[in-house]
Chain A
Amino acid sequence: MSPAGDKDGDEPRPPDTTGMLGFPDPGPPLFSSVTEVRERLAAVGYLADDGIAGVVHLADRLAKPVLVEGPAGTGKTELAKSVARVTGSRLIRLQCYEGLDESKALYEWNYKKQLLRIQAQRVVDDDGSQAASPSARDGVGDGSTSSWRDLEEDIFSEEFLLTRPLLEAIRSSDPVVLLVDEVDRVELETEALLLEVLSEYQVSIPELGTIRAQQIPLVFLTSNNTRELSEALKRRCLYLHLDYPSLERERDIVLTRVPGVTEELADQIARIVRSLRTLELKKYPSVSETLDWARTLVVLGVESIDAEQAKATLHVLLKYRSDLERAAKELAVAGEDRA
């Protein structure tokens, strides 16, 4: 059997994955300039600012993963999805959670099938010995050892390998965007799993050898910052901090994402949300909540928001009672003391 074929570590490695000085060769560029990144992302409805577009451009040119950090609901996951859509790549997603391990992230041997295979072999062997024809299969003498070796090679071949997202992204021959979502949820030790994949774009399987990437996938890791990620991981990534968008960008996002919203309403929405974010709240309204709110208002047929309507629909934006009370108070009362 030739289990790994051209991907085996002993074979000369494919020339296109590693360039000089250990920089992986990124292959043909996906984008020609930062402006092009912006335009193409905008075409699929993702409004990137200069920082975002610049990092995506660099990630493609340097063949480096991007670590996207920021508050929840600022479009981290959406960025990866949009990039996949723009480049026509398949999106492979690894959702991280506490307790994620090798067998869920990288690969796993299909031991049930392996067990079946071994038992099938035994049945065949038993038949063979009952028929008393020792030369039937494996030759004479050390028949048992060689059949064991055959069996071992057999059950540790790709047929019995269950690929998990990381390995799948590496093995895929067509372009892939790999999204490792909420990487901060895994334990510190589990992060180490990612390191080989992220820096060398390869996976080592003891029984099979090293599997190298056919093409370099674009990798996005997202983090909600619930804990500090390890230095080793950060060092291997480009870093992008996604914060709440500026007033203008948020308005444009509302305009692109919510059908039927007027420019005036979008402007008002963006401004109210900005005002809310200046208050001291437990949880600030995220972009996705802004969009939900905009949709709600459109459905309700609101043309321009007044204080009453804002108060009545605020629960779409804010999810804590204390936040709601504070916001309602601030929005309604402000100005009265000097009116």
Chain B
Amino acid sequence: MLDVLTGFIGELRAAGLPVSLTESIDAAEAVHHIPLEDRDALKYALAATLVKSSSHWKAFETAFEVYFSMRGPQYEFGDESSSPDGDTDSDSEHRGQAQGRAQGGGGGESLSSEELAEMLFRALLSANDAQVAALARQAVSRFAGMEPGRPVGGTYYLYRTLRNLDLDRVLERLMEAARAAAPEGQLTPLEDRLARDEFKSRLDRLRRELEDEIRRRLVADRGTEALARSLRKPLPEEIDFMHATRDELASLRRAIHPLTRKLAVRLARKRRHGRKGPLDFRSTMRHSLSTGGVPVDPKFRYPRPAKPEIIVIADISGSVASFARFTLHLVHAISSQFSKVRSFVFIDGIDEVTRFFENVDDVADAVHRINTEADVVWVDGHSDYGHALSVFWERWGEEITPRSSVLLLGDARNNYHASQAWVIQEIRHRARHVYWLNPEPRAYWGTGDSILGEYAVHCDDVFECRNLRQLEHFVTELA
């Protein structure tokens, strides 16, 4: 058992989770106290002792599923007919009409694709979990076309299976069935919505079943360790802005909200507790009364350091758009920490977008509006840093003061236009600081049409800002 455990901890560490020695000792101690044959209990015990942050849960779960993957006769490749153990109790209002249809879920290969789809539809409609699981297994063996030893990731098989099942259409059919079952053949909008969400969650469960099944088969094919490596996913704070998939972008968006809150709290504290100010005589005297007039505990006035003013100039052309969006989101979400935040976006034209952020509750909304409403295209919609910067200087250059910090966001890929680097130089003369944030890896700077070097000489500093962690770090330094 200890070997298995050490191996698993090694796997977690490789996935980027910080697991300390004490924690692994705790885990070893914990497994004594739980029934080992209970897989869920083992999972929770390990999670409680080894994973200390909710954002690491996903990585832990994947590692656990793979490492302690189901092995044994009932998970062999071939298909076995699963016993339809009747109705898992479901509370759905649409239940009942499909009762009694839960005949054998397996039935072997004799089913045609249409029959399989039909049975899946019925199982979903009656929320028969056991049968859905059995059919998921069938669907994988039929549609995924898995071949032993083929070096493709699980997502490929998942994609193939899902394309054949066409879950969007299944959802529509389920909705139709639900409407037909309603008393007047019509659902109120609210009921409609609820039914839809219910079916969506059932489909999600199906999708998870499919993923599990594919993973089980891959494990059987390649062994645990090889697979663990290929399934390893980056933690949300380490996802690269420029190469994030849609799912990853969604998880980034979810991560940024708590992050802004944490940052704001941390910065406010730093500001308050940063230094001690001069002696506060009144307060000291007042407190000395409880010690008989002896000023035992001197009180100090807290200093109020000036908040910096921020000017963000962001490239929002395709390649770096998501990076600019996250940075704008972050800076505006903690705008209370700055005396003023002004934002400008450009592609080859430049536009001020501060107005989008005024009086809005939802920063995400504002960021979304920038994409649709800002007037940033001048000629052809390809980045032209030179033109954008010179226009900026003409129109807003006067407004930069010695209190402003200027942030430039972009990869400085200028499509071989003129750089107009003198603008940065001028800005720097007026402003307190000029920083450049680049979402590209440092190694790519200055290659191809990137002219970061020409701008960099005029900036106070240039930062590589590829993921949330780097961005967070920079913002902390800034305020």
Contact = CB atoms under 8 A, between A and B. Distances in A.
By Cβ-Cβ distance, the 4 closest A-B pairs, closest first, are A335-B192, A54-B44, A334-B193, A234-B52
18 contacts: A51-B47, A54-B44, A55-B44, A55-B48, A58-B45, A62-B26, A225-B54, A225-B258, A225-B262, A226-B262, A238-B48, A239-B51, A239-B52, A251-B91, A274-B201, A282-B361, A306-B190, A307-B189
A111 B291 contact: yes
- From A235, A306, A332, name the one whose CB has the most chain B CB atoms within 10 angstroms: A235
Interface stretch (B4-12, B28-36, B148-156): B28-36
B362 A322 contact: yes
B190 to A, nearest CB: 4
A335 B193 contact: yes
A1 interface: no
A66 B34 CA distance: 17
Interface in A110-124: 111-112, 115
Nearest to B19: A235
A310 B26 contact: no
Interface string B180-212: 000000111110111011100100000000000
A267 B92 CA distance: 9
Contacts of A274: 197, 201
A187 B34 contact: no
B190 A58 contact: no
Contacts of A238: 26, 48-49
Nearest to A272: B194
A243 B254 CA distance: 14
B170 interface: no
A151 B73 CA distance: 78
Interface stretch (B113-121, B265-273, B374-382, B394-402): B265-273
B23 interface: yes
B193 A330 contact: yes
Given A58-B30, A58-B33, A227 B47 contact: no
B203 to A, nearest CB: 13
Contacts of B51: 239
Nearest to A199: B22
Interface in B264-310: 265-266, 269, 273, 290-292
B361 A334 contact: no
A239 B193 contact: no
B91 A241 contact: no
A34 to B, nearest CB: 6
A185 to B, nearest CB: 9
Given A54-B41, A57-B33, A239-B51, 20 more contacts: A50-B40, A54-B34, A55-B44, A57-B34, A58-B48, A98-B269, A225-B54, A225-B262, A226-B265, A231-B20, A235-B52, A239-B47, A239-B52, A251-B91, A272-B194, A282-B362, A322-B361, A334-B193, A335-B189, A339-B192
A231 B21 CA distance: 13
Interface residues of A, number: 62
Chain B: interface size category: 35 or more
B18 interface: yes
A208 interface: no
A139 B361 CA distance: 78
A67 B45 CA distance: 14
Nearest to A33: B35
Interface of B: 18, 20, 22-23, 26, 29-30, 33-35, 40-41, 44-45, 47-49, 51-54, 57, 91, 186-190, 192-194, 196-198, 201, 258, 261-262, 265-266, 269, 273, 290-292, 361-362, 364
Main secondary structure of the interface of A (DSSP, over half): helix
A97 interface: no
Please classify the interface of chain B as helix (H, G, I), strand (E, B), loop, or mixed, using the class held by over half of its residues.
Answer: helix
Contacts of B273: 187
Contacts of B197: 271, 274-275, 278
A50 B361 contact: no
Nearest to A241: B54
Nearest to B291: A111
B461 to A, nearest CB: 25
A231 B52 CA distance: 9
B190 A307 contact: yes
Contacts of A305: 190
Contact of B192 (A57, A271, A282, A334): A334
B23 A241 contact: no
B190 A235 contact: no
Nearest to B89: A248
A64 interface: yes
A257 interface: no
A271 to B, nearest CB: 5
Contacts of A235: 20, 22-23, 52
Contacts of B34: 34, 54, 57-58
Nearest to A334: B193
Given A226-B265, A228-B262, A307 B188 contact: yes
A240 interface: yes
Contacts of A69: 54
Contact of B292 (A115, A310, A333): A115
